[in-house]
Amino acid sequence: MRAQPWREAEVTLTASRALTDPYVSVEVWATFTHTDGAVLRRPAFYDGGRTWRVRFASPIGHGSWQWSTTANVPDPGLHDVSGRLDVVPAESSNAFDRHGFWRMSPGGRNLIHADGTPALLVADTAWALPWRATDDDVRVYARDRAAKGFNAVLLMTVQPDMRATGPRDRSADEGFDVGFEDLPAGRLNELNPGYFQYLDRLLDILGEHGLVPVLQPVFQGFGWKGLDVAGTVVPSGEYARYCRYLVARYGARPAIYLVGADGAGSEPQIEAGGQAVHDSDCYGQPTGIHYRPHARPNAHQDAPWLDFQWCQTGHGGEHVPERVADMWRSEPVKAVANGEPTYECTGHQDNAAGWWQGHEAWSNLCAGATMGVVYGAANIWQWVHRDAEPGHAPYFLAPKGSWRDALDYEGSTYVGLVGKILQDVAITDMAPDWETFLSPRSLRVPGRLHIVYQENGGALRMLQDRQTPPNYRIVDPKTGRVTATGHLHPDETIDADPDRQPRVVIFEA
The pLDDT tens digits for 170-225 are 999 999 999 999 999 999 999 999 999 999 999 999 999 999 999 999 999 999 99
453-481 average pLDDT score: 95
pLDDT attached to residue 93: 83
**Contact assessment for residue 396 and residue 127, using Cβ atoms and an 8 Å cutoff:** no
What local confidence, expressed as pLDDT, does residue 90 receive?
84
**Residues comprising the chain, all counted:** 509
Residue 317 confidence (pLDDT) above 90:
yes
pLDDT at 215: 99
User: What per-residue confidence (pLDDT) applies to 146?
Assistant: 98
Q: Where are the alpha helices (DSSP H) in 235-354?
A: 236-250, 268-280, 322-328
pLDDT score for 465: 87
Burial of 395 (0-12, 13-18, 19+ CB in 10 A): exposed
For the chain, the farthest-separated pair of C-alpha atoms sits apart, in whole angstroms, at: 78
Q: Average pLDDT, stretch 456-481?
A: 95
Helix axes 135-148, 193-208, angle to 10 degrees: 30
Task: Determine what percent of the chain is predicted with pLDDT higher than 70.
Answer: 100
Q: Indicate the DSSP class of residue 396.
A: G
Give SS3 for 77: coil
Among candidate residues 316, 301, 214, 195, the one with its CA nearest the CA of residue 261: 214
On the question of pLDDT at 492 being above 90, the answer is no
19 contacts 75 by C-beta, under 8 angstroms: yes
- CA 465 centroid distance within chain: 37
pLDDT tens track for 28-39: 999 999 999 999
Exposure string of 484-506, with b = 16+ CB inside 10 Å and e = fewer, is eeeebeeeeebeebeeeebbbbb
pLDDT at residue 143, rounded to an integer: 98
Residue 262 backbone class (left: φ over 0; alpha: ψ -120 to 50; beta: rest): left
Contact residues for 330 (Cβ-Cβ < 8 A; gap 6+): 297, 298, 301, 309
Arithmetic mean of pLDDT, 225-250: 98
Q: What is the pLDDT of residue 491?
A: 79
- Among 422, 413, 477, which Cα is nearest to 110's? 422
CA distance 401 to 4: 43
Mean pLDDT of the chain: 97
3-state class (DSSP) for residue 248: helix
Residue in 458, 470, 367, 478 with CA at minimum distance from that of residue 414: 478
Q: What is the pLDDT of residues 364-386, one digit of tens each?
A: 999 999 999 999 999 999 999 99
- Percentage of the chain modeled with pLDDT above 90: 96
Q: Give the integer Cα–Cα distance in Å for 264 and 270.
A: 10
As a whole number, mean pLDDT of residues 18-22 equals 97
- 37 CB-near residues (< 8 Å, 6+ apart): none
Give φ, ψ of 254 to 5 degrees. -55, 135
Mean pLDDT value of segment 334-357:
98
- Answer whether residue 490 shows pLDDT above 90: no
Nearest to 484 by CA among 509, 461, 507: 507
pLDDT, tens digit, 9 for 90 and up, residues 71-120:
999 999 999 999 999 999 988 889 999 999 999 999 999 999 999 999 99
What is the distance between the alpha carbons of residues 359 and 422, in angstroms, rounded to a whole number?
Answer: 15
Whole-Å CA distances, 337 to 112, 308, 340:
15, 8, 9
Closest to 361 measured CA to CA, from 103, 119, 123: 123
- How far is the C-alpha of 409 from the C-alpha of 267, rounded, in Å? 35
257-303 tens-digit pLDDT = 999 999 999 999 999 999 999 999 999 999 999 999 999 999 999 99
Instruction: Decide: 291 and 311 in contact? Cβ < 8 Å.
Output: yes
Alpha-carbon distances, residue 205 vs 242, 312, 374, 377, 379 (angstroms): 23, 28, 20, 21, 21
